[in-house]
Copies of this chain bind each other. A is one copy, B any other.
Amino acid sequence: MPREVRERQMLDAAVGAFARHGYQAASMDDIAEAAGVSKPLVYLYLKSKEELFTACVRREVGALIAAVREGTRERDIPADEQLWNGLRAFFAHTAARPDGVTVLYRARTQGEPFAREVAAMRVEVVSIVTLLLGQAAKDAGCDGELAEREVSGLAHALVGAAESLAEWSNARTDDAPSAKETAATLMNFCWAGLENLMKGHRWMPAPRVH
């Protein structure tokens, strides 16, 4: 059996195990058994548990980024539609590969070697979002009055909201909302606010959206 195939089997098994039990609790024994190979072979191909986990994370990062990039390929449509497309791609992906997403989620709390990898991915996603927001601002005829820091904050808020929604929607065993519905919920939640901001309207403590 060719090496690549074996290697993918191992990664599949590892992703499953890591998703179910976490990095520490998943044992190399279990993974090797689940992959249908002997433990030394796992070490031969993937060096160590740390590298194995890293490989899993990288693969899932790549898959998620690819899905989102694929969803936002069209560039000459309004920014909100682009965001809408990206969100649908994101939620479709999280629904299709729950184990992979769980691994990423867990990797964020596993300290340096791994968290960085996921953080880098987030940066990439955030940059995609940031571009969209920039374009949206231009569409809205606004002159870029938004501080970079504020944009960064907004992007993180959006990503956090998306992650939370993905988890919530995948947790429902019955009657789970479709990717489309979830994306719509999030668009409804955020777009009006973002649009206002582009136009320079702000919510203020002595309140009035205006």
Binding site for B on A (CB under 8 A): 21-22, 24-25, 78, 80-81, 84, 105-106, 109-111, 149-150, 152-154, 156-165, 167-169, 177, 182, 184-197, 201-203, 205, 207, 209
Contacts and interface: CB of A to CB of B under 8 A. Distances in A.
Nearest to A110: B22
A156 B165 contact: yes
Given A157-B161, A161-B161, A184-B203, 20 more contacts: A21-B111, A22-B109, A24-B24, A78-B207, A80-B207, A84-B207, A105-B109, A106-B109, A153-B169, A153-B182, A157-B186, A158-B161, A158-B189, A160-B162, A160-B167, A161-B164, A190-B193, A191-B209, A192-B201, A195-B209
Contact of A149 (B80, B149, B158, B177): B177
Given A159-B164, A161-B157, A193 B188 contact: yes
Q: What is the oligomeric copy number?
A: 4
A165 B153 contact: yes
A21 B152 CA distance: 28
Given A105-B109, A109-B105, A157 B189 contact: yes
B160 A163 contact: yes
Contacts of A22: 24, 109-111
Contacts of A195: 192, 209
Contacts of A164: 156-157, 159-161, 163-164
The 9 closest A-B pairs by CB, nearest first: A160-B164, A24-B24, A192-B193, A161-B161, A157-B161, A192-B192, A156-B168, A153-B185, A192-B196
